[in-house]
Amino acid sequence: MDAPAIIPKKNGGFNAAAHGLRGLAAVFVMLAHIIGGTAEHIYPHVKSYVQWVRYPWNFGTFGVEIFFVISGYVILQSALKYNLKEFGLRRFVRIYPLFFVLSLLFIALNFVTNAYKELNNVETIVSGLLFINLFTGTEQLTPNAWSLSYEACFYVLTALIVTFAYKRRNMLLGALAVMLAIAFLIAFPITVYFLIGVAMRLLAADEKTATPATWGMELVSFVLMVASASQTHLGYTAWDQFGTPAVPMILLSITAYFYFALRPGSLTSRALGGQPFRYFGDVSYSLYLVHPFPYFLMRMIFVKMGWFTGNIPLSMTAFGTAVVSTSLVATHFIYRTLERGPYEAMFHQRIYHDKRRKAAAS
């Protein structure tokens, strides 16, 4: 028999703040690609524009780190709830169908256009599809999927640690799983954000009650997180990058922010608990993986038609509107068919239960 969950959940596992932040992070990443991509590829010679978008571009890409924190918070509870086999199956059906289809689309498009020659080889394709590219030194395939390789490794390591160190009390296998996790953290320091999410679960941050005092600390930590994350373009590949002055403050502020934001009645849960943010939370994974395709298509059209002009505000407004609208339409359809569809067919339940939302709101 599986051991009971370490942290009992009164609300069935759904957290309005985490769910809303997941959706907001996906939107941040999309907007960062719109403004950052044009600064890098369309208007690199316009120094004023490049300088102006630098800070929102930096913070937008920080949405990935926010994803990782939320994943650490959510996945631990899932690993505790299900046995090893069911946990793995649910994670696979949850993320792989959409990833696989978009990867095949990318492979086909890249084969025809040869836009990324270095990715047109068997080793890169197989490594990407198996999420082992971190260990083969090759690139991931479909845009944005690089983060899924970290996610997949985190799922495996979490499941092994929970199963052997906690549920089965196998000291040898549990110790080996922990050592693997430590080695992975040392090799890929960006995974520290998963640990922040795990810490939030273990500290039962979502079981504490928000007060006016914690609202103030939540707001201060949020401002510090935004300010510090906007200072640098994060991309951890080695420990020496933690020498960047902004990084200690980023880690401290995001930890403090989530500690206060996950509480029922927090400013974040109040701000992001409405239907629009719940919808974006639902479709966040699809939006994250889908939007690069409309982005590249619209950028190609705008370049071909000469619609990127010297009037940057007008051009960017038109371009941003085109990318966002096409991305949202494509995301809605793909979420219902490729993300939600396989999961509901396999497990006969929705990814996000309405009853959990109601329980969390009560």
Following DSSP, what letter does each residue of 168-226 receive, concatenated?
S--HHHHHHHHHHHHHHHHH-GGGHHHHHHHHHHHTTGGGSPP-HHHHHHHHHHHHHHH
Q: What is the pLDDT of residues 240-256, one digit of tens each?
A: 566 677 888 999 999 99
| Boundaries of domain holding 210 | 16-361
Q: What is the pLDDT of residues 8-62, one digit of tens each?
A: 454 456 899 999 999 999 999 999 999 999 999 999 999 999 999 999 999 999 9
Q: Is residue 98 part of a domain?
A: yes
122 to each of 70, 118, 141, 174, 269, how far by Cα in Å? 33, 11, 12, 35, 45
pLDDT averaged over every residue in the chain = 91
As a whole number of angstroms, the distance between CA 321 and CA 276 comes to 18
Q: Is residue 218 part of a domain?
A: yes
Q: Is residue 251 part of a domain?
A: yes
Q: Is residue 11 part of a domain?
A: no
Give yes or no for residue 98 having a pLDDT over 70.
yes
Q: Is residue 104 part of a domain?
A: yes
Q: Is residue 179 part of a domain?
A: yes
Domain count, the chain: 1
Q: What is the pLDDT of residues 302-351, one digit of tens each?
A: 999 999 999 999 999 999 999 999 999 999 999 999 999 999 999 988 88
Q: Is residue 7 part of a domain?
A: no
pLDDT at 348: 84
As a whole number of angstroms, the distance between CA 223 and CA 122 comes to 45
User: Would you say 30 and 327 are in contact if contact means Cβ atoms under 8 Å apart?
Assistant: yes
Q: Is residue 1 part of a domain?
A: no
pLDDT at 123: 96
User: Would you say 44 and 312 are in contact if contact means Cβ atoms under 8 Å apart?
Assistant: no
